[in-house]
Amino acid sequence: MKQTNISIFIPHIGCPHKCSFCDQRTISGTQKPPRAEDVTALLDEQAPHLSERGITAEIAFFGGSFTAIPRDYMLELLKAAKSAAERYSCYTGIRCSTRPDCIDEQTLALLKEYGMTAIELGAQSMSDEVLAANERGHTADDVRKAARLIKESGIELGLQMMTGLYKDTPERCLYTADEFIGLSPATVRVYPTVILKNTRLGELFERGEYKSFSFEETIDLCAELLRKFTRNNIRVIRMGLHASADVERDMLGGVYHPALRETVESRIILNDLKERFSALEKGNYRVYTDPKNISKVKGQKKCNVKALSEFGYNIDVLPLDGEYLLIK
């Protein structure tokens, strides 16, 4: 059965810091905080559509730091979510995103009482220098402590990281990934930095004091991150911001692509093909792959096919059920 999220975005309410990259109004596409009746109406509306299609969903409070909003307001939203989960079998749990320094035993006990099943920590980096430079207001040790408490509580742990922040390097991103793996999360999200107007990163960018990783650097890095997490049985449930007209309008730089995950997966396949062809003579070949992978093997606008041809390998890509890469 297919699983999805019904996302309810909480604007910047409660966050103790405005981080260098943050403009939640652009990222979430909303400014008005939802109330309990809004949550109830949304979940009532979506339940029959999910059931008809045989889809289950978690109710997801995203967009801000859920455990940092006023406690009465948090409980108001949780009560509405829990009530819907009890009334509709298509809702299988509740998840939220929050800051590492806004988690403690008391808060976790309260979240469990109201049916919280997963918490995603916006860690962003495990480099204290990067965290300080981007005004996160917490340390890598705060991430480690919060992750431990969440796992001890029995709630699923998710971690979120960003690449290309101010003072960041690819090596620091790979270090962050290794630190994440050591914390054994169930899921990870990877967000290449998008530089937005009305942010400190935007100001630094416009003054020429900061530039993020290039598109090619980001795709290569994300390919390595995806490999690393997958090999350690950690699900990467998102790469890149969701497609958004607001982001496209307000971005000054950084890396944004509406199909970033597929682009990264295509780069992994290209790297695998290069490795395999390196042991073969140059010439014409057929590459067989499962039909679902054909577009990724070819690459966007056949970029993988073109890249291999530059090395002397001309390929035709053909379907073969269940195959990853078979070269003939």
> What is the C-alpha to C-alpha distance for residues 280 and 8, in angstroms, rounded to an integer?
52
pLDDT the model gives residue 47: 97
pLDDT the model gives residue 226: 98
pLDDT the model gives residue 16: 66
How high is the mean pLDDT in each 10-residue block of the chain (328 residues)? 88 72 60 91 97 96 91 97 97 96 97 97 98 95 98 98 98 98 98 94 95 96 98 97 84 94 97 96 97 96 97 97 97
> What is the C-alpha to C-alpha distance for residues 171 and 110, in angstroms, rounded to an integer?
38
> What is the C-alpha to C-alpha distance for residues 274 and 276, in angstroms, rounded to an integer?
6
pLDDT the model gives residue 161: 98
Q: Read off the pTM.
A: 0.92
The residues pairing with 134 across neighbouring beta strands, listed in sequence order, are: none
pLDDT the model gives residue 89: 96
pLDDT the model gives residue 1: 65
> What is the C-alpha to C-alpha distance for residues 179 and 57, in angstroms, rounded to an integer?
29
> What is the C-alpha to C-alpha distance for residues 108 and 115, in angstroms, rounded to an integer?
11
pLDDT the model gives residue 11: 77
Q: Given the structure tokens 């992750």, which residue do they identify?
A: 147
Q: Determine the straight-line distance between the first and last CA of the chain, rounded to whole angstroms.
A: 36
The DSSP 8-state label assigned to residue 20 in this structure reads: T
Q: Are 155 and 196 in contact, with CB atoms under 8 Å apart?
A: no
pLDDT the model gives residue 232: 98
